[in-house]
Amino acid sequence: MAEQRQLEHDEISDLKVMKSANGYYLGREQYDKHLENWFPYNRVSSYIKDYDKAEKLLNQARSYTKNFNDLKPHQLKEMSKNFDSRTAFLPQDELKKNLIDDHINHDREFQKKMQPTITPDLSR
């Protein structure tokens, strides 16, 4: 039997294929504890008409982001900044930029690395 855990109000899902009236897309959902339901939170891709293509794009996105946690926070932020400095985006560049920013904002392991470590002052 799968272990049940209490979801927090601000729980954010992993990146996944989602659907709206405009088509399928890659995004995240947020859990609302009071309503006890998941709701769309963000979208990182353009809309895709075919589910299989959206699933393939999700696999490509996972492949692209799988090594992000091996990077130092400043390296990932630099990657994002490099995309910001470009004047013209190709569609795949826009997705990559969105994936980098999404990872910076929502990956739990990355967030832990971003938290400053406090070292005690032992000189006293």
Residue 57 falls inside a structural domain: yes
More confident position, 79 or 110: 79
Residue 9 falls inside a structural domain: no
Residue 7 has pLDDT above 50, yes or no: no
Residue 3 falls inside a structural domain: no
At 15-35, the pLDDT tens digits run 999 999 999 999 999 999 889
Q: How many Å apart are CA 117 and CA 113, to the nearest integer?
A: 9
Return the residue matching tokens 């630099």: 78
Please report which residue ranges of 17-121 form alpha helices under DSSP H: 51-65, 73-84, 91-106, 108-114
At 44-75, the pLDDT tens digits run 999 999 999 999 999 999 998 888 878 888 88
Residue 95 falls inside a structural domain: yes
pLDDT of residue 121: 54
What's the domain range around 54? 16-113
How many helices (H) and strands (E) the chain has is answered by 4, 3
Residue 82 has pLDDT above 80, yes or no: yes
Q: How many Å apart are CA 6 and CA 60, to the nearest integer?
A: 31
Residue 87 falls inside a structural domain: yes
Residue 119 falls inside a structural domain: no
User: Among positive and negative, which fits the CA dihedral 42, 45, 49, 55?
Assistant: negative
Q: How confident is the model at residue 105 (pLDDT cuts 50, 70, 90)?
A: confident
Count up the domains in the chain and report the number: 1
Specify the pTM: 0.75
